[in-house]
Amino acid sequence: MKHLVLSAMAAWMMCTADVCAQSLYNAVYDKAQSEVAVEKNAARKAVSQFKLNALNYIMNVCKKEGRDGDARLLDLQAVNMESFVDDFLEFEAKAEKISAAKKDEIVRVFTSASFAHPLFENESPLVDGGAGALLPFSLNTDWSAAYDQAEIVAKRVLR
């Protein structure tokens, strides 16, 4: 449901792209940057830092490819990355209440969805923080496709 609301909001914002190009990307970026600056909890700070790193990665590769003016791509990826990460944390917490095995399965579901859907074909998967990281996802992820896959499979895991 959250994904539908955010996608609807993204679609509406893209209709007015001339007026507010990359506004969703910028909003997600500013929120993450603000949270990194003020957050005292190390885990929450790490989550916000991951979001910043993912957004910076997307923008840097888009600039390298000459696509940094593609507001639609940047906005959709930013919104879906934030939903992916937030839902991962929510599913992981629910699974942990059931069992450690369910939690591990949720981590595998989201991680495999991240690596199965690269956004940029000529870029390698790049894990922010390496093995054992709080969010072991590739920065080179098509967050829209990964989110769709992970959400469906994670719901089945928690049944």
The structural domain count of the chain equals 1
CA dist., res. 144 & res. 83, Å (int) = 9
How deeply is 13 buried, as exposed, middle or buried, from its count of CB atoms within 10 A (0-12, 13-18, 19+)? buried
> For 100-157, how does the pLDDT look when each residue is reduced to its tens digit (9 = 90+)?
999 999 999 999 999 999 999 887 777 765 555 678 899 999 999 999 999 999 999 9
What's the confidence (pLDDT) of residue 18? 42
Domain that holds residue 134: 2-157
Q: Which residue has the tokens 């049944």?
A: 159
CA dist., res. 121 & res. 8, Å (int) = 27
> For 34-54, how does the pLDDT look when each residue is reduced to its tens digit (9 = 90+)?
999 998 998 899 999 999 999
pTM as predicted: 0.83
CA dist., res. 75 & res. 57, Å (int) = 14
